[in-house]
Chains A and B, each alone.
Chain A
């Protein structure tokens, strides 16, 4: 709890992380927040932008290879923002990589995911990977909320370790509409466009 409070405070001082509820309200509905990914602070910034009550039942999804180590990063990820780990490398996967995410949604926990799978170097996101599609089709009850993180690629670009203080806003868009029988590619393009539209 104390660590979470410190992290939120630090993020506020460094990058503000002001929430802008453009297309939806902060409600306790079951949600999958999906956002553009440009820096290591993205997870924390999006998580901090949520009201405390929602934060407690929203799990950021983090890459196991980066965040789940034993050191400071692992400690921050598990104790600080209660991350769910996902295996990025296919050869290390023993089970369906999305299984822990399914379980969390089934327990009523919302998720924060970065569908690009890795950080991009510019303001607009790279093409989305298919994880979001599978989660969305398996959980029709969840609202899909596009989120755009502004400015963070300037604060802590890929390859750097010290954040530059900048005011960053976190824009929450309108829930992505569900289209019957939409194929994977079309869905992923539409989802990415929803994030781009918030930029």
Chain B
């Protein structure tokens, strides 16, 4: 099958899934209505509505091609960084490093992907960004909490820009015979990581009893993780035909994505709580902020990327 055909089949499948989800949401809503409705079901329906929008945006952008996909992730990164910075108590002296992050480092990182300059893409923020931020922070002369302030910015930039940019960077991997269809690797990552989140949520709501980390992320349960993770691995294996992998390899890759994504959700939940918030923002109805949707992607994307490069590039 060509890229075009695979893409259409996949979008058809996702569309069908959303129709089923919307119907279930509607039936649950009707059943709960006589009892005065339910906040959980209202939230579920808000989430499903937001999914329609997110899938439509991603599908349309990917139809436009590689550059559009890179720009879309650049914008998502900018919103995620905006949420991170908003919750971080920055001071007047952080102004210059913030301006550099938003208006120089972020665009350059995504431009490097569009340019296909892998070697600089991989070190630009961990080396040059990392070193430049504290230098610019000294300009104001404010040394109060200097290390803590600079570290928070570096951390935010690494997660919201560097790690998330690994998702569109999948366009750069060189798996023999598959280079033309790299966009599908990105689709595979997004489908597995997001379905893993959704399935963990559903399994957790239906069967969840044992909390994994009650203080860090009260909604994560052993049952949710095992059931949701296994479902996402099964779906990933079933999608082998859009990837360069065999069904077994696709299952292993999906497992890598699921585990990394889960750990990302856990770690970023702890960061969010240490900043005193429950959600990163209110951008996406029912879900919270952009970073609430991308927390698992930020961990899964770099790991998925480097596992492919290690095992599948000659």
Pick out which of these stretches binds chain A: B84-92, B124-132, B232-240.
B84-92
Which of B85, B91, B103, B282 meets A166, CB within 8 Å?
B85
Contact (Cβ within 8 A) B86 A166: yes
Q: Give the contact-size bracket for chain A.
A: 10 to 19
Answer whether residue A94 sits at the interface, using C-beta atoms and an 8 A cutoff.
Answer: no
Residue-by-residue, is B253-297 near A (CB-CB < 8 Å gives 1, otherwise 0)? Answer: 000000000000000000000000000011000000000000000
Which of A18, A121, A151, A162 meets B99, CB within 8 Å?
A162
Answer whether residue A5 sits at the interface, using C-beta atoms and an 8 A cutoff.
Answer: no
Answer whether residue B98 sits at the interface, using C-beta atoms and an 8 A cutoff.
Answer: yes
The total of interchain contacts (Cβ-Cβ below 8 angstroms) comes to 28
By a CB distance below 8 angstroms, the chain A residues around B282 are: 18
By a CB distance below 8 angstroms, the chain B residues around A164 are: 85, 95, 98-99, 102
Answer whether residue B220 sits at the interface, using C-beta atoms and an 8 A cutoff.
Answer: no
Answer whether residue A160 sits at the interface, using C-beta atoms and an 8 A cutoff.
Answer: yes
By a CB distance below 8 angstroms, the chain B residues around A18 are: 282
Contact (Cβ within 8 A) A167 B99: no
Answer whether residue A139 sits at the interface, using C-beta atoms and an 8 A cutoff.
Answer: no
* Number of B residues, CB within 8 Å of A: 16
Answer whether residue A115 sits at the interface, using C-beta atoms and an 8 A cutoff.
Answer: no
Answer whether residue A80 sits at the interface, using C-beta atoms and an 8 A cutoff.
Answer: no
Cα-based distance from A151 to B83 in the complex (angstroms): 12
A24 CB to closest chain B CB (Å) equals: 21
Contact (Cβ within 8 A) B86 A121: no
By a CB distance below 8 angstroms, the chain B residues around A151 are: 86
Cα-based distance from A125 to B98 in the complex (angstroms): 24
Closest A residue, CB atoms, query B75:
A13
Residue-by-residue, is B66-107 near A (CB-CB < 8 Å gives 1, otherwise 0)? Answer: 000000000000100111011000111001001100110000
Cα-based distance from A18 to B83 in the complex (angstroms): 14
Residue-by-residue, is A139-170 near B (CB-CB < 8 Å gives 1, otherwise 0)? Answer: 00000000000010010010010101111000
- A interface list, Cβ under 8 A from B: 18, 121, 151, 154, 157, 160, 162, 164-167
What are 7 A-to-B residue pairs whose CB atoms are below 8 Å?
A151-B86, A154-B92, A162-B103, A164-B85, A164-B102, A165-B78, A165-B85
